[in-house]
Amino acid sequence: MLDWLPENVSVFGEGVDHLFSLIYYISVAIFILVNAIYIAFIFRYRRKRKGERAYYYHGNNILEFSWTALPFALFLFLAFYSDGIWEDIKYSDKTPNPDLVVEVMGQAYLWHFRYPGSDGIFGRRDSRFMATTNPFGIDPDDPNGKDDYVTINSMNIPVNKTVLVHLSSMDVIHSFFLPNMRVKQDAVPGQWVDVWFNSIKTGKYEIACAELCGSGHYLMRAVLTVQPQADFDTWIDEQYGSVSAALVAAGSPDQKNSSAPAATTPAVPTK
Amino acid sequence: MEAALQTDTHAHGGGHAHRESFIRHYIFSTDHKMIAKQFMFTAIIFLFIGGAFALFIRWQLAYPGEPIPLIGQLLPSTWVNADGAVTAEWYTQLLTMHGSIMIFAVIIPLLVGTFGNFAVPLMIGADDMAFPFLNMVSFWLFPLAGVLMMAGFFVEGGMAAAGWTGYPPLSAIASMGQTLWIVSLFLIGFSSIIGGVNYITTVLNMRAPGMNMFDLPMTVWAVFITAIIIVIGTPVLAAALSMLFMDNFLHTSFFMPADLVVATRDMSRTAGGGQPLLWQHLFWFYSHPAVYIMILPGMGVVSDVLATFARKPLYGYKAMVFAIIAIAFLGILVWGHHMFQSGMNPLLGTTFMVSTMVIAVPSAIKTFNWLGTMWRGQMEFTVPMLNAVAFVSMFVIGGLSGIFMASTPVDIFIHDTYFIVGHIHYVLFGGSLFAVFAGLYYWFPKMSGRMFDDRIGKWHFWLTFITFNGTFFPMHILGVGGMMRRIYDPTVYDFLKPFQPMNEFITINAMVLGFAQFLLVYNMVYSWYRGRAAKRNPWRANTLEWVAPSPPPHGNFDVPLRVYRGPYEFSSPESVQDFLPQNVPPEEVVAQRARHEKRLAASQTRDGGSGE
Ligand code: HEM
Ligand SMILES: [Cu+2]
Ligand SMILES: [Cu+2]
């Protein structure tokens, strides 16, 4: 059964998979035990002769107590054992220092990814500026935002680096699902949530939406490209080049009213 | 409490015939047995509607974009495309309606409405429910709500399409169908609350003389505790639905943050400042307990059926009662396990994981006690027993899959995948629905006065059991593979393409599973008119409903009742038979024994030559 899991390429994914298999083996053991007894009873204690009496017996408190205490101990053990792994993945004070920060915005039915430009600083966001042409609501007055670049349905990250994602949505709830990274986090409008992961293997992986967001829910697919650092740097420079080219093309440095940050954003299909 | 006073004095004679008009008798009836039948009839219709929806869903998942066979071309163009294939819009409506119908219009009305109404008054020796008129109101709200929900078919934009969980903002920026869904659930909730109050009052006040709480059969205990959960939880759902209604209609912002960008709706009228997660908290505060509303009565029915056909006292009766109470109490503390990945503070994930793991304990207790009941029994595998036995083993699978999801790190991966779909079907179909089948077959002789056809019943059981597992077990594997819930076309994703053969396998099983249910209907309808006449107590059971004639007349009992013992005195050495009804006086038991021994002695001496 566990062979069906998509390949894990994330650092904390090992913990998740380990727990998955632990619970799997415990469950299979319990399942076999209970059902073996059950089936044995079904055959052993079926009525064979008319008039025979069942054993008149109302129960046994010691047994009752032990089959309360044993599952209790087992389940509590599982809870506390799971919690260690959960805390490492989700608690913000345990998140490792990120090497790269990316903002991700869900929109029916696509994903926007925003990288800080060459300055490494994200321009200020304000939800009032949010529009299909400016999904992150980047403040046009903030010079830091001028070189931010936004991609659609494709995300690039360097291998073996901690990536921190700031996640939100501009319309309904979506869920940012990276099967190979063992990442799933709902993107809730009006709220920013942090998720991190660290891929140990280069390659192309799929990103999906896991929360019903409308009839195009199934189309919300993006591609994650995990590259060696050098390739990633090249990619980043290309992106940056295109942003500055767009800035230059837009002419005057005075861009107060234009939406330069969205220059690399192709027209977004509205639903 | 006029009705309560009646019980002591109220001993309807068998010939006591009310002359009722057709309308009073079949439509606006206040008789609990007729109301139970009405619930059953309506819910089974919805079972087939919801089932048909599921088959459309399955068709699309196995053969994405291919025309629906036979009827594809006949369906309206708002549902299917020119070829006759399901459209993505209709697909989303179908999955929403399938979930909503099955939960609110099938399982709850069958378990609570049908068995609660039919079995509770009979099992406690009452002549009717405490509030017969309210009972009628409670029923009539249900078809009304069902029709409202289905009315989405006829409005612009179609039926509700935000899933049975109806998460805003999606559900708050939706079409008319969603509003109908909200109103419909509100009415169903209203019906539930009325019913709940009625069950609580009935069980507390109308038990036969001599019957104390620990003489109640498990079915009655379960419905009683379920009614308490309903009365606590449903008002919260009603409040949440009202807020959602206002967000939709009056542009309030209970669940709406500011500055959403939505093409289909003018958001400038929505001030914002609301919280989408608030809905999830309120919804699951009701809906987690609601999953217990959907299983506890089933557990009760199964306990009664198992004890009856194992001819053994229910193992650990009191432990079973306390386990139900524990589930009800803990059930109120675990709603957050549906929200581990919702963006709620991960610290809450920790707390809700612990409480969720703890609630698995009473479920385990119940399982072990069922095993204990079968131990050294004399089991008779009648059709109700087969279904009850299947319930236990399917429930074990559902409970174990629950542990995976309760473990927060594992839930990161399997949340919102087909693993969840597998889980809910193992508990709601493998659990609740098998319990419904067990109960329907078990009480059929009492309800109709006739026996069902055993052979068809067994065919129905085995076909259902096999194809149920063929349909839903592989869904766990799909979930492990990462297949998301509620997607229209899995082949969009490369990592899901290898699962297409499994999707086809599931669909084929689902088809057989769906059509097998016609056997149930055929059996019921045919046997209702043509079946062999049923005796009063065809299963040789102990509980009071078997004292009444089959079917019971208006007012139920034709003999005065008094209860002397618990409901599970099977194979008691006191009795000459292998059962001992709750209402047989101890003197009578002793006398029976004496007569029996005398007869035995007589037959022995007869061998020696001298008769009596
Ligand atoms: C051993 C006991 C159980 C445990 C530990 C358990 C645990 C869980 C958890 C953690 C979830 C949320 C998973 C997720 O969405 O990520 C869940 C979902 C669900 N459970 Fe259970 N469960 C148990 C028994 C039951 C029973 C008895 C029922 C119903 C009769 C039930 C019905 C459901 C339903 C309907 C959902 C899905 C809701 C949805 O998202 O649509 N569960 N369960
Ligand atoms: Cu989605
Ligand atoms: Cu739950």
Which ipTM was obtained for this model? 0.90
CB contact under 8 A, B169 and A177: no
Domain end marker among A77, A93, A109 = A93
Q: Is residue A144 located within the same domain as residue A252? A: yes
**Which site among A37, A49, A75 would you substitute to test the B interface, given the most B Cβ atoms closer than 10 Å to its Cβ?**
A75
The values of phi and psi at residue B596, to 5°, are -65, -45
Q: How many residues make up chain B in this entry? A: 612
Best CA proximity match to B373, nearest among A72, A42, A29, A65: A42
Band of residue A266 on the pLDDT scale cut at 50, 70, 90: very low
Eight-state DSSP code of residue B267: G
Average pLDDT in the B462-485 region? 97
- Decide if B121 is inside a domain: no
One-letter amino acid identity for B348? L
Comparing CA positions, the residue from B109, B93, B89, B137 lying closest to residue B47 is: B109
Summarised one tens digit per residue, pLDDT across range B54-107 is: 999 999 999 999 999 888 888 888 888 888 999 999 999 999 999 999 999 999
For chain B, give the mean pLDDT: 92
| Per-residue pLDDT reduced to its tens digit, B375-424 | 999 999 999 999 999 999 999 999 999 999 999 999 999 999 999 999 99
Which ligand number lies closest to the CA of residue B284? Answer: 3
- Helices B317-330 and B296-310: angle between axes, nearest 10 degrees: 170
Contacts of A103 (CB under 8 A, 6+ apart): A113, A114, A122, A136, A165, A166, A167, A168
Neighbours of B82 (CB within 10 A): 8
The nearest alpha carbon in chain A to B92 belongs to A215
pLDDT at A261: 40
B56 within some domain: no
Reply yes or no on whether the pLDDT at A271 is more than 80: no
* C-beta of residue B285 within 8 angstroms of C-beta of residue A29: no
Share of chain B above pLDDT 90, in %: 83
Q: A265 lies in a domain?
A: no
B223 in Cβ contact with B167 (< 8 Å) = no
Judge if A117 and A54 occupy the same domain: no
User: Please, which pLDDT band fits residue B612 given cuts at 50, 70 and 90?
Assistant: very low
Claim to verify: residue A69 and residue A106 sit in the same structural domain: no
Q: Considering only CA atoms, which residue is closest to atom 23 of ligand 1?
A: B402
CB contact residues (below 8 A), chain B span 240-279, against chain A: 257-264, 272, 274-277
| pLDDT grade for B36, boundaries at 50, 70 and 90 | very high
Domain limits at A181?
Answer: 100-257
Ligand 1, residues B111, B226, B427: which to mutate, most atoms within 8 A of Cβ? B427
User: A223: nearest CA in chain B?
Assistant: B493
CA of B288 to the centre of ligand 3 (A): 4
Best of B96, B261, B382, B417 to disrupt the A interface by mutation (most A CBs within 10 Å)? B261
Residue A265 has pLDDT above 50, yes or no: no
Tell me whether residues B409 and A89 touch, CB distance under 8 A.
Answer: yes
Total domains, chain A = 2
How does pLDDT run across B542-556, given as a tens digit for each residue? 999 999 999 999 889
Whether pTM exceeds 0.95: no
B556-B559-B564 Cα angle (round to 5):
105
User: For chain A, how many residues are written?
Assistant: 271
Identify the band that residue B15 occupies on the pLDDT scale cut at 50, 70 and 90: very low
Tokens 């009578």 sit at which residue? B588
Instruction: Identify whether B579 is part of a domain.
Output: no
Is the Cβ–Cβ distance between A187 and A207 less than 8 Å?
Answer: no
In this complex, the residue of B263, B367, B570 whose CB is nearest that of residue A271 is B263
Task: State how far the Cα of B611 lies from the Cα of B595, in Å rounded to an integer.
Answer: 16
Say how many C-beta atoms besides its own lie within 10 A of residue A51's C-beta: 7
Residue A264 placed within a domain: no
Q: In B, which residues are within 8 Å of A171 by CB distance?
A: 169, 173, 260-262
CB-count exposure of residue B239 (10 Å: 0-12, 13-18, 19+) = middle
Boundary-marking domain end, from A93, A119, A134: A93
The structure tokens 């650990």 sit at B316
Residue B454, domain CATH: 1.20.210.10
Final residue belonging to a domain, choices A66, A93, A120: A93
**Do residues A79 and A206 both lie within one domain?**
no
**Residues of A whose CB is below 8 A from B347:** 91
Distances in whole angstroms, Cα of residue A236 to Cα of each of A113, A226, A232, B86, B135: 13, 13, 6, 42, 69
CB distance B102 to ligand 1 below 6 Å: no
Question: Residue A86 is nearest to which of B346, B365, B489, comparing CB atoms?
Answer: B346
Q: Is B396's CB within 8 Å of A34's CB?
A: yes
Which residues from A are below 8 Å from B319, CB to CB?
59, 64, 68
Residue B11 has pLDDT above 70, yes or no: no
CA B424 – ligand 1 centroid, Å: 6
Q: Are A182 and A208 in contact (CB under 8 A)?
A: no
Q: Assign B484 to helix, strand or coil.
A: strand
The torsion defined by the Cα of B291, B191, B243 and B267, in degrees rounded to 10, comes to: 90
Which tokens in the block code for residue A7?
């390949």
Does residue B522 carry a pLDDT above 80? Answer: yes
pLDDT at B24 over 80: no
Whether residue B554 contacts residue B12, with contact meaning beta carbons closer than 8 Å, is answered with yes
Q: Do A172 and B173 touch (CB under 8 A)?
A: yes
Instruction: Give the ligand with the smallest distance to the CA of B167.
Output: 1
Spell out which residues of chain A touch residue B173, defining contact as CB-CB under 8 Å.
171-172
Least confident piece of the model among A204-208, A254-258, B158-162: A254-258
Residue B64 CB–ligand 1 contact under 6 Å: no
The residues in B 44-73 lying below 8 A from A, measured between CB atoms, are none
Where is pLDDT greater, at A146 or B42?
B42
Of B157 and B119, the structure prediction assigns the larger pLDDT to: B119
Specify whether A106 is located in the same domain as A231: yes
Element (H, E) at B521: helix B500-530
CB pairs under 8 A between A and B: 301
Distance from CA of B494 to the nearest CA of A (A): 8
Angstrom distance (rounded) from CA B281 to CA B200: 27
Backbone angles phi, psi at B566, to 5 degrees: -70, 175
Q: Is residue A8 part of a domain?
A: yes
In a domain, A266, yes or no: no
In this structure, is residue A270 part of a structural domain? no
Task: For residue range A54-92, list pLDDT tens digits in order.
Answer: 888 888 888 889 888 999 999 999 999 999 999 999 998
Given a contact cutoff of 8 angstroms between Cβ atoms, the answer to whether B458 and B544 are in contact is no
Is the CB–ligand 1 distance for residue B360 below 6 Å?
yes
Chain B residue closest in CA terms to A69? B361
pLDDT at A256: 37
A255 has a pLDDT exceeding 70: no
**B606 CB burial (10 A radius; 0-12, 13-18, 19+):** exposed
List, for residues B424-436, the tens digit of each pLDDT value.
999 999 999 999 9
A262: in domain:
no
Judged by DSSP in three states, A115 sits in: strand
Distance, in Å, from the CA atom of B289 to the CA atom of B268, rounded to the nearest integer, reads 37
pLDDT of A43 > 50? The answer is: yes
Inside any domain, residue B367: yes
Q: Specify the CATH number for the domain of residue A224.
A: 2.60.40.420
Q: Is the same domain home to A132 and A236?
A: yes
Contact between chains at A218 and B272 (C-beta distance less than 8 A)? no
pLDDT tens column, B120-134: 999 999 999 999 999
Sign of CA dihedral B569, B571, B572, B577: positive
CA dihedral angle for residue A144, residue A149, residue A150, residue A154, rounded to 10 degrees: -140
Strands A193-198 and A110-115: unpaired
- From B291, B301, B334, B475, the mutation candidate for ligand 1 (largest count of ligand atoms within 8 A of CB) is B291
Question: What distance lies between CA B344 and its chain's CA centroid?
Answer: 31
A107: which strand partners? A110
Are A206 and A223 in contact by the 8 Å Cβ rule? The answer is yes
Percent of chain B exceeding pLDDT 70 equals: 96
Is B356 within the bounds of a domain?
Answer: yes
Same-domain status, A211 and A227: yes
Q: Is residue B2 part of a domain?
A: no
pLDDT tens, position by position, A160-185: 999 999 999 999 999 999 999 999 99
Supply the Cα-derived Rg of chain B in whole angstroms: 26
Same domain, A28 and A148: no
Q: pLDDT of A191-234, one tens digit each?
A: 999 999 999 999 999 999 999 999 999 999 999 999 999 999 99
Q: Which atom of ligand 1 is nearest to the CA of B163?
A: 41
Q: B322 C-alpha vs ligand 1 centroid, how far in Å?
A: 21
Q: What is the mean pLDDT of residues B474-484?
A: 96
| A121 and A88 fall within a common domain | no
The verdict on residue A268 lying in a domain is no
What's the mean pLDDT in B150-179?
90
For ligand 1, is residue B290 a contact (CB within 6 Å)?
no
List B residues 473-502 in contact with A (Cβ-Cβ < 8 A): 476-477, 480-482, 484-490, 492-495
The reply to whether B350 falls in a domain is: yes
Q: Which domain holds residue B478?
A: 295-518
User: In whole angstroms, how far apart are CA B225 and each of B191, B201, B211, B293, B356?
Assistant: 17, 12, 18, 9, 19
The tokens describing B332, both together, are 């109120």
Atom of ligand 1 minimally distant from the CA of B415: 16
How far is residue A125 from each of residues A142, B113, B157, B353, measured CA to CA in Å?
A: 9, 53, 35, 35
Tokens 């994930």 locate to B349
Say whether both A188 and A116 belong to one domain. yes
Beta bridge partners of A105: A112, A168
Compute the distance between CA of residue B281 and CA of residue B285 in angstroms, rounded to an integer: 6
- Out of B299, B337, B434, mutate this one to test ligand 1's pocket (max ligand atoms within 8 Å of CB): namely B337
CB-CB contact of A1 with B480 (8 Å)? yes
Q: What distance lies between CA B307 and its chain's CA centroid?
A: 20
Would the CB of B401 count as within 6 Å of ligand 1? no
Q: What is the pLDDT of residue B19?
A: 60
pLDDT number for residue B20:
66
Mean pLDDT score of chain A, rounded to an integer?
A: 87
Instruction: Tell me how many domains chain B contains.
Output: 1
- Ligand 1 pocket residue status of B453, Cβ below 6 Å: no
Helix pair B454-480, B383-406: axis angle to 10 deg:
10
* DSSP characters over B55-117: HHHHHHHHSTTPPPTTTGGGS-TTTB-TTSPBPHHHHHHHHHHHHHIIIIIIIHIIIIIIIIH
CATH code of residue A85? 1.10.287.90
Q: What is the pLDDT, as a whole number, of residue B18?
A: 54
Residues of A in contact with B379 (CB under 8 A): 41-42, 45-47
How do A222-227 and A203-209 pair as beta strands? Answer: antiparallel
pLDDT tens-place string over residues B291-304: 999 999 999 999 99
A132 and A214 share a domain?
A: yes
pLDDT mean over B479-485? 96
Clarify whether residues A216 and A139 are in a common domain: yes
Q: Can you give the pLDDT at residue A225? A: 96
Closest residue to B260, CB basis, from A4, A170, A209 = A170
In chain A, % helix, strand, coil (3-state, to 5) comes to 40, 25, 35
Is A49 exposed, middle or buried, given 0-12, 13-18 or 19+ CB atoms closer than 10 A?
A: exposed
Distance from the alpha carbon of residue B292 to the mean position of ligand 1, in angstroms = 10
Strands of the sheet with A183-187, listed across from one edge: A154-158, A222-227, A203-209, A174-178, A183-187
B573 belongs to a structural domain: no
The predicted structure's pLDDT at residue B604? 80
A110 CA to middle of ligand 2, Å?
A: 9
Kindly determine whether residue A184 and residue B396, on different chains, have CB atoms separated by under 8 Å: no
Q: What is the DSSP string of B143-168?
A: HHHHHHHHGGGGSTT-B--STTTT-T
Residue A114 resides in a domain: yes
